[in-house]
Amino acid sequence: MKIVMLGRVEYRPTLEAMQAFTALRQAHTADEIWVCEHPPTFTEGISSRSEHLLAASEIPTVRTDRGGQITYHGPGQVVAYPLIDLRRAGYFVKEFVFRIEEALIRSLGVWGITGHRVRGAPGIYVRPQDPAGHSRLAPTLTSAAPDFSGLGKIAALGIKVSRHCSYHGVALNVGMDLTPFDLINPCGYAGLQTVDLSTIGVSIAWEEAAAILAARLQSALTP
């Protein structure tokens, strides 16, 4: 599985490149993980509702074909796009998402941070007041709305699968200006707090965070 470090790239051309890669790939095409950083951009999923953009700004908004609601990309965020042939890898979408989240949890563990899953709300969350604590979250009933009490979202996830092949991916907040998140309901949840590694006391260069996440994604997604 090849890791491709793209650096800082515009969002829309990167999306178009992922779509083209997926449309043209053959049975023998090697899987890749693209790792990058985007300039300030709001992106909306196929089911995103306009009311989740709370205020107008100069930040462009791009409608995409991934799942999920609105989110924000910007400098200081590591974005990783796993371009995986899921049929060849031998796992279904639910396991694919689990593996991505596991890579995020393992990455946070490198810095002594405990990542949490929240039932019904893909992505990874931390306790800003106790980021290294290991106590488990209270169980959530299957029918209950996600409970974000005491949590901040540090990584968002949204994927697309076409012809059994994935694109889009995951964004890990490292050291960024978080104020644009105040202009949206992150991932469609009003009042959801968004944090980054610097917020919870981890100071790390983007390049190091990118390398750690890429390596753990590569490990977690290998069949």
Residues with catalytic roles = 187
Q: Do 174 and 76 touch, CB atoms closer than 8 A?
A: yes
Give the pairing type, strands 152-162 and 116-118: unpaired
CA–chain centroid gap for 99, Å, is 12
Among 199, 176, 192, smallest CA distance to 74 is for: 176
58 phi-psi bin (left φ>0, alpha ψ -120 to 50, beta other):
alpha
Whole-Å CA distances, 202 to 37, 191, 206, 209: 19, 24, 12, 11
Q: CB neighbours of 210 closer than 8 A, spacing ≥ 6? A: 5, 35, 37, 78, 80
Q: Do the beta carbons of residue 221 and residue 89 sit within 8 Å?
A: yes
Do 70 and 187 contact (CB within 8 A), yes or no? Answer: yes
Written as one string, the DSSP assignment of 1-61 is -EEEEEEE--HHHHHHHHHHHHHH--TTPPPEEEEEE-SSEEEE-TT--GGGB-S--SS-E
